[in-house]
A and B are shown apart, each in its own frame.
Chain A
Amino acid sequence: MEERLYRSASGAPIALRPRQHSASCRELAVRCPRLQLRSLSAVTSAVWLAAYGLFVLSENSMVLSAAIFITLIGLIIYLHFVKIDQESLLVIGSLGIQVTSSYASGKESTTFIEMGQVKDVVINEAIHMQKVIYYLCILLQDPGDPQGVSDIVPLFQSSKPRLDCLIEVYKSCQEILEQRKTAPQPSGIK
């Protein structure tokens, strides 16, 4: 399926790629902006300049090698634990919703929420400092209280798409979630 370009809450370009695997299975992937070479080189040069300044003051060459190590290790840690490349949402009607974040180093972290626990998928407004931001979240059912919400799982935390992209995703999800409401109850219901 084609990719559509949107903007994130902070203005960076992101891309949404919806795919339909079957009638009740859809995957929506949001690709975050790549690591900018500009910012990487800025941070590296700042660290190295500071290290050089320290070296000039202290005449200790260990400072320079330490700076190199720090930069390398920092970059690795950043790529493996911080920088998220793509966040995707896989909605399988009657099974559940799977949320995946793939990091820049290839690591993927997945959470699967069963359909029985999902109450609804909604777009929430949040007031953060001086801004109002929108975010998509999954409402989880409270087992004790059929009307209650026990927890919410916010989605697309690092790509932070704007409302237009969220509406697309929301509509897609709702189409599949509706199916379970219109589907007749299976036999032997509890």
Chain B
Amino acid sequence: MDGDCGVLWGKVSPWPLGTGDNGVPWGKLHPWLLGMGDNGVPRGQRGLMGKAKSPPFGDRGQQGPMRRTGSHENNGVPRGKVSPWPLGQGTAGSREDKGIRWGAASTGAHGPPGGWARRSLSAGPAGPRRPSPSPAEGAGRAAGEQRCWVYHCSRVAAMVLKVFFPSCCSSAESGILIGRWISEQNSAVILAVVHFPFIPVQVKQYVSEVQRVTKVNVSVLGSWSNSKQEKEESLSEFLEDLGTIFSHEPWIQISKEGNSKFWSCSTLQKHSNNPKEEEIILVYYDQRKVMLSHLHPPLDTAASTDRKADDASKLSAIFDTVAKSKVLFMTDRYDDGPIKLTHWQSDGVEASIIVELLKQASVPACMLLTFLLSVISGICRSRVLKFWPLSFLWSKLSTCEQLGYRLQHLQVISSNKKAQNESQLMRKANIFVSLLIDVALGILLMSWLYRKNRIGHLADTLIPVADNVAEELQDLLQWLMGAPAGLKMNRALDQVLGRFFLYHIHLWISYIHLMSPFIEMILWYVGLSACLGLTMALCILSDIIALLTFHIYCFYVYGARLYCLKIYGLSSLWRLFRGKKWNVLRQRVDSCSYDLDQLFIGTLLFTILLFLLPTTALYYLVFTLLRLLVVIVQGLIHLLVDLIDSLPLYSIILRLCRSYRLAAGVKFRVLEQQDGKPLRLLMQINPLSYSSVVQTYRLPTYSCYPKDSWTSLCKKLFLGELIYPWKHKGEKQD
């Protein structure tokens, strides 16, 4: 026999096909099948009990999915938990699919009441693929039965139906599937299986309740039958008739028999105006992982804000669906409610005692911390500390900046507001872990420092080191005052400058010697601050270096100013030498006729400056190099501090241990296929790469980065302008 679309059947349906008065062919009447009523309420034409063939009733734990308790009313609706009757709809059936034979398997080849068009699954227009058998067949089919369906239809455009099935429900008992139907993607995301017995009204109530709470469009999508035995033919018809109670289009029927890996999937379309052959793709997903994971959009598109909700990618819709349906997963099998579900938590809701304890303990801790922080920030903001010398000092010391930064972090952590979304939560966690690691490293450093009197040793070596540095500087100056590297220096100027700087060094040494008795005590107290964190210790180190090399900074400033003055004078006088002038208005060099006296004095000065240039330039060069050395050392320390501050350690550890939490996307694996069955894919989470993790979750810092490019830095050095090569993010550009 040939169907409309040329489906050839190997095995013919065992039951004769007759046609009923409404044109619906029926064979043996399904025990639960009722005729149609006007109001759609099934009439109890034939008692369910009477004609029940195989479905066991009232038995929990039996293979059959149906459990019945209580008698049924005269309208056929049984009281109790089970509502096995499908609701017939009133329309006369159309006979368009008259020719479609299905069967070969078990149950009768009777069409569904009410003109439901039975869709058998077709393959795409490409090769000869078979439609998968209906679940009804699956219920009753013997394990070894072969079926060869040859498909030689012409190329018909196919719509592909995608069913996302949670892998935890693979071994669930039969029931109905609830989830979300995403019509624009033609895909169904199945969230849980509701087992028999149930009352449809209660199920509908529950579903609408869930829908209201989660704002996810949850509905009953189809039926699931997991039969350990064979030949559950009556069950299959019953299941498809369930489609009439829960009107959903299309009605998905999945069935699994025995322990077979290959399931059968079919859909029922009510409105059969355009029967399309659909291919079904079955995608397994790990519900727990998908629920817990957070999908990160690609970094470049994350910035674009003009994405309508409709344009949201399919994957994020699926992830959202599962994530928002959290309340659905809160009921487990030990709950005593009217609805029995199977999902990933149905064996028991996951919880951890430690986490709960921490949550309880964190509330008072947060309040205490908030109070302390408010006190400290009140002190910091007091007027006393805002006077000019002090405020200038605070702005120059990097320790204060780091302290302020950490206070900010603490405020973020200890705030009472719950994190709004995932990224805020990650931020809080990152800050917390970063602080923890920082303090741990600091305490480690402290314990190492305070052992074996290392502070004393450090203090003892500090003075000789400072003396050594000063002596080296003195030697350097003596060398400069001679004939350094064979260069021709102007002796007089040389002597002047050299003596000037030597005097400064002398002052510095005496200052150090004055401080030497107190060094150890100062260091001891300063070392205590390492308990606030390694970053604080590093900042203090950087500040100490800055203080100790203050004289180098002073020398640099003197030398740079002198040199800068000289260079400007020379350039201006050179223009005078040639008879030109700088036109400020037009920003260019114009010719100019000078007076005689201007010419004379100008040339004289030009000569003097020119011949004194090598001397000044050499001093400038030497001190600039020293200053650059100090700046580089300080910069390295600051880089290290920034690294510790901004590294999102919690995210990295999460990526290492629970990589499914941070998802960059998904990946699909094609599982074993069998002809005639839907395409089986396994959807796994593709974790974010480490570099993306760091980039996405980086904590913003007051990072210091070079202010100038290389060319402008060289230009500044050449012209003698003072350089401050590191710019902090919060500073205004002057």
Chain A residues packing against B (C-beta within 8 Å): 20-25, 27, 90, 92-95, 98, 100, 110-112, 114, 116-117, 143-144, 175, 179, 182-184, 186-190
Contact = CB atoms under 8 A, between A and B. Distances in A.
Of B127, B157, B310, B670, the most chain A CB neighbours within 10 A belong to B670
Nearest to B666: A112
A113 to B, nearest CB: 9
A23 B125 contact: yes
Nearest to B673: A21
A110 B667 CA distance: 7
Contacts of B186: 94, 186
Contact of B157 (A94, A112, A182): A182
A184 B159 contact: yes
Contacts of A184: 157, 159, 276
B686 A112 contact: yes
A98 B184 contact: no
A183 B160 CA distance: 9
A183 B158 CA distance: 6
Interface stretch (B311-319, B506-514, B714-722): B311-319
A23 B279 contact: yes
A182 B263 CA distance: 28
9 contacts: A22-B679, A23-B129, A24-B160, A93-B124, A112-B686, A175-B126, A184-B159, A186-B185, A190-B184
Given A22-B679, A24-B679, A110-B667, A188 B184 contact: yes
A143 B307 contact: yes
Nearest to A23: B124
Given A112-B668, A186-B184, A186-B186, A94 B126 contact: no
B723 interface: no
Nearest to A182: B157
A179 B124 contact: yes
Interface string B163-188: 00000000000000000000111100
B449 to A, nearest CB: 33
Given A92-B281, A114-B315, A23 B183 contact: no
B127 A116 contact: no
A24 B129 CA distance: 11
A187 B183 contact: yes
A95 B667 CA distance: 11
A175 B185 CA distance: 20
A28 to B, nearest CB: 12
Contacts of B310: 190
B127 A20 contact: yes
B307 A90 contact: no
B162 interface: yes
Interface in B662-681: 665-668, 670, 673, 678-679, 681
B731 interface: no
A110 B157 CA distance: 30
A174 to B, nearest CB: 12
B313 A117 contact: yes
Nearest to A115: B314
B537 interface: no
B686 A110 contact: yes
Contact of A116 (B276, B283, B314, B679): B314
Interface of B: 123-127, 129, 157-160, 162, 183-186, 276, 279, 281, 283, 301, 304, 306-307, 310-311, 313-315, 665-668, 670, 673, 678-679, 681, 686
B255 to A, nearest CB: 19
Contacts of A25: 281, 670, 679, 681
A153 to B, nearest CB: 11
B183 A22 contact: no
Nearest to A24: B124
Contacts of A90: 668, 670
Contacts of A183: 157-160
Contacts of A116: 313-314
Contacts of A114: 313-315
B665 A179 contact: no
A156 B716 CA distance: 49
Contacts of A23: 123-127, 129, 158, 279
A140 to B, nearest CB: 10
A171 to B, nearest CB: 12
A22 B667 contact: no
A13 B283 CA distance: 36
Contacts of B668: 90, 92, 95, 98, 112
Contacts of B126: 23-24, 175, 179
Contacts of B666: 112
B124 to A, nearest CB: 3
A179 B159 CA distance: 9
Contacts of A95: 162, 281, 283, 314, 668, 681
A22 B159 contact: no
A90 B679 CA distance: 13
A190 B276 CA distance: 21
B665 A111 contact: yes
Of B126, B310, B686, the most chain A CB neighbours within 10 A belong to B126
A75 B424 CA distance: 41
A189 B125 CA distance: 23
Nearest to A189: B184
B125 A179 contact: yes
A179 B158 contact: yes
Contacts of A98: 667-668
B247 to A, nearest CB: 15
B276 A143 contact: no
B552 to A, nearest CB: 38
Given A23-B127, A98-B667, A93 B306 contact: no
A182 B129 CA distance: 18
Of A22, A94, A182, the most chain B CB neighbours within 10 A belong to A22
B276 A94 contact: no
A38 B42 CA distance: 80
A182 B679 CA distance: 20
A116 B304 CA distance: 17
Contacts of B304: 143
Nearest to B283: A95
A25 B282 CA distance: 12
A112 B295 CA distance: 13
B184 A22 contact: no
Given A23-B124, A93-B124, A188 B183 contact: yes
The 9 closest A-B pairs by CB, nearest first: A23-B124, A188-B183, A190-B310, A22-B679, A110-B667, A186-B186, A94-B160, A23-B123, A182-B157
Contacts of B124: 22-24, 93, 179
Contacts of B673: 21-22
Nearest to B668: A98
A143 B311 CA distance: 8
A92 B682 CA distance: 12
Contacts of B158: 23-24, 179, 183
Contacts of A112: 665-668, 686
A4 to B, nearest CB: 19
Contacts of A21: 670, 673, 679
Contacts of A143: 301, 304, 307, 311
A187 B123 CA distance: 20
Of B306, B310, B679, the most chain A CB neighbours within 10 A belong to B679
A23 to B, nearest CB: 3
B376 to A, nearest CB: 48
A100 B686 CA distance: 11
Contacts of B678: 22
Given A20-B127, A186-B186, 13 more contacts: A21-B673, A22-B123, A22-B281, A23-B125, A24-B279, A92-B281, A93-B124, A94-B160, A95-B162, A100-B667, A117-B313, A143-B304, A184-B157
A144 B686 contact: no
B184 to A, nearest CB: 5
Contacts of B665: 111-112
Nearest to A27: B670
A27 B667 CA distance: 14
Nearest to B185: A186
